[in-house]
């Protein structure tokens, strides 16, 4: 656990300086030049080589999230902080503190200029990346905020809470109330995802609701078991739903039909993340037995059970373009790459 942990935060001044530079670079990378080359056509590789383990120093890491281009990641700590990392280098770039309770979820905007986070203090916070200041604090949820998402243009923050509402907060105006409150769920919201015109929400009442803004319809799919995580497939045709019956289901977005079922992992108590791999080839899910499970999306066969550690894999994030996985267990995060991966530039 401690082997790769060479970079520890709070080193002092030089480290601070480096973090500022990195922050600037983070800001400079707006929609375009990626650090990674375009993936060459090759067979899907699964990230199974542990590249790095970072002790985040923020007690339990509640969630780990990539930024929009996958160069940076955010960790939500139970010590009320949100931290921005460069996972490959293993450097801490900035710490965002201002939450009153543990931070439960975070997301970055499309232009990397702002972050949003929600936590146990029932507040949704909009952060300025560079300055680390709180830009807005949206209050109104009656319970802790489980999940937050920006919309495509980072004009709206959607937050799902255990008060069974999704609230749409306007980042443009100074209005303190949400634009709209989606209170159709009968129980807490565990997961919210946003596409360009849809809002996908999983709720503990066992339903996945998809609000289609363009059509003006609400599609509610009954899954039965409390839903822990939902996500769109990258082609936007399917939704992946994980629920507390230790099952992941791939549903057709338009009809709600079951396209695939993935079992073998263990998820009966906790809110665990699931996702699809960078090219929709595999379904990835956390498990309570300390592994990350990979299934082939089409066949539904278990492709890999990646042992991470002794605890529960609480959260994971998949790189948007590369076979790169971040997992969170306990107070640390792990960065995984494919076997053939060679460190390109001088990573620490």
Partner 1 sequence: MAALDGDSDEDLVSYGTGLELLEEGERPKKPIPLQDQTVRDEKGRYKRFHGAFSGGFSAGYFNTVGSKEGWTPSSFVSSRQNRADKSVFGPEDFMDEEDLSEFGIAPKAIVTTDDFASKTKDRIREKARQLAAATAPIPGATLLDDFITPAKLSVGFELLRKMGWKEGQGIGPRVKRRPRRQKPDPGVKIYGCALPPGGSEGSEDEDDDYLPENVTFAPKDVTPVDFTPKDNVHGLAYKGLDPHQALFGTSGEHVNLFSGGPEGANNLLGDVGVNKGRKLGISGQAFGVGALEEEDDDIYATETLSKYDTILKDEEPGDGLYGWTAPRQYKNQKESEKELRYVGKILDGFSLASKPLSSKKIYPPPELPRDYRPVHYFRPLVAATSENSHLLQVLSESAGKPTHDPGTHSRHQLNASKRGELLGETPIQGAPTSVLEFLSEKDKERLKEMKQATDLKAAQLKARSLAQNASSSRPQPSSPDVGHCSWHVALSGGTAPVRASNFKPFAKEPEKQKRYEEFLVNVKRGQKDALECCLDPTMTEWERRRERDEFAQAALLYVSSHSTLSSRFTHAKMEDDSDQVEVPRDQENDVSDKQSAVKMKLFGKLTRDTFEWHPDKLLCKRFNVPDPYPSSTLVGLPRVKRDKYSVFNFLTVPETASSPATLASSEKVPQHQGPDKSRKPSRWDTSKQEKKDDSISEFLSLARSKVGPPKQESSPLVNKEEEHTVESVSDKVNKGVDSQTEGEGSRPSMDLFKAIFASSSDEKSSSSEDEQGDSEDDQEGTREADVKGSQETDLVETLSVAQASEPAPQEPAPFFPIQKIQIDEREEFGPQLPPVFCANARQKLEAPLKEKHKKNKEKHKTKKEHRRKKEKDLP
Q: Which of residues 124-153 bind partner 1 (CB under 8 A)?
A: 143-144, 146, 151-153
Q: Are 189 and 162 in contact (CB under 8 A)?
A: yes
Residues 254-293 that bind partner 1 (CB under 8 A): 255-258, 261, 268-271, 288
Binds partner 1 (CB under 8 A): choice among 207, 265, 282, 319: 207
Residues 40-79 that bind partner 1 (CB under 8 A): 59-60, 62-63, 78-79
Q: How far is the CB of 21 from partner 1 (least distance, A)?
A: 30
Considering the complex, state which of residue 220 and residue 281 has its C-beta at the smaller distance from partner 1.
Answer: 220
Bridge partners (DSSP) listed for residue 166 = 160, 182
Alpha-carbon gap, residue 181 to 15, rounded angstroms: 43
Alpha-carbon gap, residue 273 to 267, rounded angstroms: 10
Binds partner 1 (CB under 8 A): choice among 69, 205, 278, 322: 205
* 83-122 footprint of partner 1 as x/- string (CB under 8 A): ------------------xx-x---------------xx-
Alpha-carbon gap, residue 26 to 128, rounded angstroms: 12
Residue 291 — φ and ψ, nearest 5°? -125, 165
Q: How far is the CB of 177 from partner 1 (least distance, A)?
A: 10
Considering the complex, state which of residue 10 and residue 42 has its C-beta at the smaller distance from partner 1.
Answer: 10
Considering the complex, state which of residue 220 and residue 321 has its C-beta at the smaller distance from partner 1.
Answer: 220
Residues 297-336 that bind partner 1 (CB under 8 A): 310-312, 314-315, 329-331
Residues 16-35 that bind partner 1 (CB under 8 A): none
Tell me 39's DSSP state: P
Q: Are 250 and 263 in contact (CB under 8 A)?
A: no
Alpha-carbon gap, residue 250 to 329, rounded angstroms: 26
Q: Are 104 and 63 in contact (CB under 8 A)?
A: yes
Alpha helix (H) ranges present in the chain? 13-28
Q: Are 189 and 146 in contact (CB under 8 A)?
A: yes
Considering the complex, state which of residue 15 and residue 311 has its C-beta at the smaller distance from partner 1.
Answer: 311
Residue 241 to residues 20, 221, 236, Cα–Cα distance (Å): 38, 10, 14
Tell me if 216 contacts partner 1 by CB under 8 A: yes
Considering the complex, state which of residue 95 and residue 146 has its C-beta at the smaller distance from partner 1.
Answer: 146
Nearest residue to 61 via CA among 334, 328, 319: 328
> Whole-angstrom distance between the N-terminal and C-terminal Cα of the chain?
16
Total residues binding partner 1 (CB under 8 A): 82
Considering the complex, state which of residue 60 and residue 302 has its C-beta at the smaller distance from partner 1.
Answer: 60
Tell me if 237 contacts partner 1 by CB under 8 A: no
* 158-197 footprint of partner 1 as x/- string (CB under 8 A): ----xxx---x-x-xxxx---xxxxxx-xxx-x-----xx
């Amino acid at each position: 656990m401690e082997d790769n942990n060479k970079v520890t935060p709070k080193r002092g001044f030089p480290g601070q300086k480096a973090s500022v530079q990195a922050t600037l670079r983070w800001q400079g990378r707006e929609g375009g030049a990626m650090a990674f080359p375009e993936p060459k056509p090759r067979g899907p590789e699964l990230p199974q080589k542990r590249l790095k383990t970072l002790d985040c120093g923020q007690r339990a890491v509640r969630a780990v999230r990539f930024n929009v281009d996958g160069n940076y990641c955010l960790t939500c700590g139970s010590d009320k902080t949100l931290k921005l990392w460069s996972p490959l280098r293993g450097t801490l770039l900035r710490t965002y503190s201002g939450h009153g309770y543990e931070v439960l979820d975070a997301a970055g905007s499309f232009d990397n200029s702002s972050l949003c986070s929600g936590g146990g203090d029932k507040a949704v916070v909009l952060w300025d990346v560079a300055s680390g200041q709180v830009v807005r604090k949206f209050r109104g949820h009656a319970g802790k905020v489980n999940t937050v998402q920006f919309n495509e243009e980072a004009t709206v923050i959607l937050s799902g809470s255990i008060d069974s509402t999704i609230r749409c907060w306007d980042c443009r105006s100074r209005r303190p109330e949400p634009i709209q409150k989606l209170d159709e769920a009968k129980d807490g919201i565990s997961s919210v995802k946003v596409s360009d015109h849809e809002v996908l929400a999983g709720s503990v009442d066992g339903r996945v609701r998809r609000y289609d803004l363009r059509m003006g319809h609400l599609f509610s799919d009954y899954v039965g078991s409390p839903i822990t995580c939902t996500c769109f497939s990258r082609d936007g045709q399917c939704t992946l739903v994980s629920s507390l019956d230790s099952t992941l289901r791939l549903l057709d977005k338009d009809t709600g039909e079951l396209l695939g079922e993935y079992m073998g992992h263990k998820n009966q108590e906790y809110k665990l993340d699931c996702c699809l791999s960078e090219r929709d080839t595999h379904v990835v899910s956390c498990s309570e037995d300390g592994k990350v499970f990979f299934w082939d999306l089409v066949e539904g066969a278990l492709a890999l059970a990646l042992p991470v550690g002794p605890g529960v894999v609480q959260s994971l994030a998949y790189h948007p373009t590369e076979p790169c996985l971040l997992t969170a267990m306990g107070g640390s995060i792990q960065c995984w790459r494919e076997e053939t991966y060679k460190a390109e530039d001088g990573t620490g």
